[in-house]
Chains A and B, each alone.
Chain A
Amino acid sequence: MRRLNPAAILMLVPTHLLLLVVIALPSIYVFWLSLNESTYGSDLTFVGLDNYVTVLTSSYFWRAALNTLIVVNAVVYIELLIAIGMAALFLGGVRYPKIMFAIVLMPYAISEVVGVLVWKIMLNSGSGVLARTIESLGFGMFNWSVSPPLALSVVTLISIWHHLPFTFLLIYAGMLAIPKSLYEAARIDGATPWQEFWRITLPLTIPAILISLIFRFVFAFRLFSEVWLLTAGGPARLTEVLAVYLYQSGFKYGEFGTASATGWLMVIGSLGVASIYLWAMHRRMLKGND
């Protein structure tokens, strides 16, 4: 293993200092806050793990955790499948590639808030163009706002729509990096396009898929705007996700201790999920180094 020389360490210092100031110190402070009772205009009172007990014994927290788990898994895996399909399509060649590329990337360029509000207007059960189309097709009134499963499905749909370009880009870049010679050799050996995809493209895109999974799980775990703008966690708090639960505790009720505890539990949760994929990546790296 190569040892870092003083010059290299010196060059790494600014980045690490930045990480320390921007991420590590606030995280430590939030952890300290999670061990205290705190609200606006009052001093901190140390309460040990009481805030964690409060959060973990709250049925709203567990409902929010379940909603988060369902939505996050649906978002990440559906998005991944679509992104792989689209990237494979682009790899094989599409007509007017620049225009198609711009269309695919467009949702990512739209502000999240604007995007969600436009979807909300289109899905308005009384007057929205999409809702009325669904109704005119004979599916009945699309009254998603009072049905938690439907509301969470809409959240999933919007989240996929908005973040698909990110996953697509990672996977497409991964696919572009595959040497062309492998495909030429496969074609000489008589491989079908499906076999090419299954035996070459997919296995060699796994590192990119793992990276996108890690990123998307961590990002999706913080899911907030879609839910807040569509339902604000309602009706009757049935569509709350963890970030909304945290927001309510911290910024509506001013309970910073429980909000901080929720934040740390979210970090632990997303780390738990991400660690599976990090471990898989680590194993692949070790294999590659052997």
Chain B
Amino acid sequence: MLRKILATAVLLAAAGSVSAQEPRTLTIISHNVHKTAATGGDLADAQNIAGEWAERNNVTLNWVTLDIGPLHDRLLREMSLGETSVDLAAVLNTRVVPSVATLLEPLGPHMEANPIEDFEGISEGLREATVINGNVVAVPYRHATNALHYNETLLEERGVAVPTTLDELLAAARAATFTRDDGTRVYGLVTTLDTHVTALQFLSAFGAVYIDADLNVHANSPEMIAGLTELANLYKEGVLPPNVTALGLDELIATMREGRGVFAINPFSRYTALNDPAASLYPGQIDVMPFPTNDPGVASANTEFWSWAIPANSTQKDLAYDLIRELSGKDATVRAALNGNGPVRPAAYEDPRIIEKLPYAAAESIGLRDASVAVPAFADAVEATTVFIEEMQAAVLGLKTPEEAAASLQTRAEELVARSK
């Protein structure tokens, strides 16, 4: 009899444990780069950090990957509902503004209960930018710091040396612009001027700042006018591609891979894509360096960064936070970097695995050291970036003089900042 009771108890316990381990689904909304960073995606030597965590915890991860605009649009709409199925979200630094922060779960209590490993090891500037009204609302995960990529083979072919200063870069870009015998044009400098980040990267090498961290607008500065003038000249001279204001990221990558561009402004981590042996005509020949200034040894680097955040109306906050902890750990940061992520822990660049696998690690650590956020987060930051793009494009295409564009940008940005205050 006792045996029967024990057997029944064991069976019941087993059934109970089976039902307790029923897989839960955690929905993550992010850009595809975050999924690749956390899972390795299709990489041959993928580091599936999130997958391992999911397996350990019997969780099914449901990734919803979208482009930047639609991602935030969907997330904000989800967060405006009474309850959302989105448990974890990647958010861009310019979108973490006070009004949005009210819709995010304050992470302080979670961090007190279950601290993130060596949280102070995450870059201080990035950590501070995710504290809104005294609450930590997101944990930095990925930085995209802009750099200068260059095709060594094409430079050699044109007899142009790798530049070390801004003036040398401008001269080299001009010298490296040519037309091949088959009519193919090779552009000295390729960049995407349909976004603010890469344009501000170029302008910041002249010392130009659009809006500083204290929300002071510096758009009408001599440095900004000098940068816009040079950008317009490069466009007029055909050093920049003729469709530069509509050039998308995919097109930039294709242009560089096909040898139709010599220098390109893009984040360091683009190195892997540009040198992909399966897709690039110049694998291993497109190197990257911090964007030079005329101040020897000082790089100019604009950065944008992404963080993990939990919608306040999520129903699985603890589980989502546990995944944040996992992804933000020291080892996970290194492994994500091996997947192509921009590590937010400066110490990661000293890890032998990164030094061995990422040839640009040393350059990126210098870039990150000198980096500043392209546009700070404030209520109308998104509109401020749109205004910048509009005025910058007008100056580049000659629809306005650089002086007119800079003056107009100053007035309009000041209005936006004032409205936000």
Question: Nearest Cβ distance between residue B90 and chain A, in whole angstroms?
Answer: 17
CB of A159 within 8 A of chain B? no
**Interface residues as binary, B393-417 with A (CB distance below 8 Å gives 1, 0 otherwise):** 1100101000000000000000000
CB of A232 within 8 A of chain B? yes
CB of A253 within 8 A of chain B? yes
Which of A41, A127, A234 touches B79 (beta carbons < 8 Å)? A41
A interface SS class: loop
Asked whether B243 lies within 8 Å of A40 as measured between CB atoms, the reply is no
Contacts of B127 on A, CB cut-off 8 Å? none
Contacts of A252 on B, CB cut-off 8 Å? 69, 73, 382-383, 386
CB of B230 within 8 A of chain A? no
Contacts of A146 on B, CB cut-off 8 Å? 242-246, 397
Asked whether B103 lies within 8 Å of A41 as measured between CB atoms, the reply is yes
By beta carbon, the residue of chain B nearest A237 is B390
Asked whether A40 lies within 8 Å of B242 as measured between CB atoms, the reply is no
By beta carbon, the residue of chain A nearest B392 is A236
CB of A193 within 8 A of chain B? no
CB of B128 within 8 A of chain A? no
Give Cα A252–Cα B399 distance, bound, in whole angstroms.
25
CB of A85 within 8 A of chain B? no
Q: Which of A36-55 contact B (CB under 8 A)?
A: 39-42
CB of B80 within 8 A of chain A? yes
Asked whether B76 lies within 8 Å of A254 as measured between CB atoms, the reply is yes
User: Given A41-B100, A41-B103, A146-B243, A236–B394 Cβ distance below 8 Å?
Assistant: yes
Question: Nearest Cβ distance between residue B16 and chain A, in whole angstroms?
Answer: 41
Asked whether A248 lies within 8 Å of B386 as measured between CB atoms, the reply is yes
Tally A-B pairs: CB < 8 A.
82
Q: Which of B365-385 contact A (CB under 8 A)?
A: 380, 382-383
Question: Nearest Cβ distance between residue B359 and chain A, in whole angstroms?
Answer: 29
Q: Which of A205-241 contact B (CB under 8 A)?
A: 230-232, 234-238
Max chain A C-beta neighbours (<10 A), residue from B79, B245, B246, B255: B246
By beta carbon, the residue of chain A nearest B389 is A234
Which of A141, A145, A251 touches B73 (beta carbons < 8 Å)? A251
Asked whether A234 lies within 8 Å of B393 as measured between CB atoms, the reply is yes
CB of B251 within 8 A of chain A? yes
Q: Which of A118-144 contact B (CB under 8 A)?
A: 124-127, 141, 143
Question: Nearest Cβ distance between residue B234 and chain A, in whole angstroms?
Answer: 14
Give Cα A232–Cα B193 distance, bound, in whole angstroms.
12
Max chain B C-beta neighbours (<10 A), residue from A40, A127, A232: A40
Asked whether B260 lies within 8 Å of A126 as measured between CB atoms, the reply is yes
Question: Nearest Cβ distance between residue B192 and chain A, in whole angstroms?
Answer: 12
Question: Nearest Cβ distance between residue A245 and chain B, in whole angstroms?
Answer: 12
Interface size in chain B (residues, C-beta < 8 A): 34
CB of B114 within 8 A of chain A? no
Give Cα A143–Cα B243 distance, bound, in whole angstroms.
7
CB of B185 within 8 A of chain A? yes
CB of B194 within 8 A of chain A? yes
Contacts of A145 on B, CB cut-off 8 Å? 242-243, 245-246
CB of B99 within 8 A of chain A? yes
Give Cα A6–Cα B69 distance, bound, in whole angstroms.
51
Asked whether B246 lies within 8 Å of A251 as measured between CB atoms, the reply is no
Question: Nearest Cβ distance between residue A255 and chain B, in whole angstroms?
Answer: 9
CB of B233 within 8 A of chain A? no
Which of B194, B260, B383 touches A127 (beta carbons < 8 Å)? B260
Q: Which of B94-152 contact A (CB under 8 A)?
A: 99-100, 102-103
Q: Which of B321-378 contact A (CB under 8 A)?
A: none
Give Cα A146–Cα B236 distance, bound, in whole angstroms.
12
Asked whether A124 lies within 8 Å of B397 as measured between CB atoms, the reply is no
CB of B241 within 8 A of chain A? yes
Which of A41, A124, A231, A234 touches B102 (beta carbons < 8 Å)? A41
Contacts of A234 on B, CB cut-off 8 Å? 194, 245-246, 389-390, 393
Asked whether B260 lies within 8 Å of A235 as measured between CB atoms, the reply is no
User: Given A126-B260, A146-B246, A252-B382, A236–B73 Cβ distance below 8 Å?
Assistant: no
Q: Which of A234-283 contact B (CB under 8 A)?
A: 234-238, 248, 251-254
Question: Nearest Cβ distance between residue A265 and chain B, in whole angstroms?
Answer: 20
Q: Which of B226-257 contact A (CB under 8 A)?
A: 241-246, 251, 254-255
Give Cα A42–Cα B102 distance, bound, in whole angstroms.
9
Give Cα A237–Cα B386 distance, bound, in whole angstroms.
9
Question: Nearest Cβ distance between residue B200 and chain A, in whole angstroms?
Answer: 17
Question: Nearest Cβ distance between residue A156 and chain B, in whole angstroms?
Answer: 17
User: Given A146-B245, A253-B382, A39–B393 Cβ distance below 8 Å?
Assistant: no
Contacts of B77 on A, CB cut-off 8 Å? 40
Question: Nearest Cβ distance between residue A252 and chain B, in whole angstroms?
Answer: 6
Contacts of B76 on A, CB cut-off 8 Å? 40-41, 254
Asked whether A126 lies within 8 Å of B80 as measured between CB atoms, the reply is no
Give Cα A41–Cα B103 distance, bound, in whole angstroms.
6
By beta carbon, the residue of chain B nearest A128 is B243
Asked whether A251 lies within 8 Å of B69 as measured between CB atoms, the reply is yes
By beta carbon, the residue of chain B nearest A40 is B76
Asked whether B246 lies within 8 Å of A126 as measured between CB atoms, the reply is no
Give Cα A219–Cα B80 distance, bound, in whole angstroms.
30
Contacts of A124 on B, CB cut-off 8 Å? 243, 251
Asked whether A40 lies within 8 Å of B79 as measured between CB atoms, the reply is yes
User: Given A40-B103, A41-B100, A235–B242 Cβ distance below 8 Å?
Assistant: no
Which of B103, B243, B244, B393 touches A236 (beta carbons < 8 Å)? B393
Asked whether A235 lies within 8 Å of B246 as measured between CB atoms, the reply is yes
Contacts of B245 on A, CB cut-off 8 Å? 145-146, 234-236
26 A-B pairs within 8 Å (CB atoms) are namely A40-B76, A41-B76, A41-B99, A41-B102, A41-B103, A125-B241, A127-B254, A145-B242, A146-B242, A146-B244, A146-B245, A231-B246, A234-B389, A234-B390, A234-B393, A235-B393, A235-B399, A236-B390, A236-B394, A238-B399, A248-B386, A252-B73, A253-B380, A253-B382, A253-B386, A254-B382
Name the 4 nearest CB pairs between A and B, nearest first. A145-B246, A145-B243, A235-B245, A40-B76
Q: Give 16 new A-B contacts, CB below 8 A, not counting A145-B243, A234-B245, A253-B383.
A: A39-B99, A40-B103, A124-B243, A126-B260, A145-B242, A146-B244, A146-B245, A234-B390, A235-B245, A235-B246, A236-B245, A236-B393, A236-B394, A238-B399, A248-B386, A252-B383
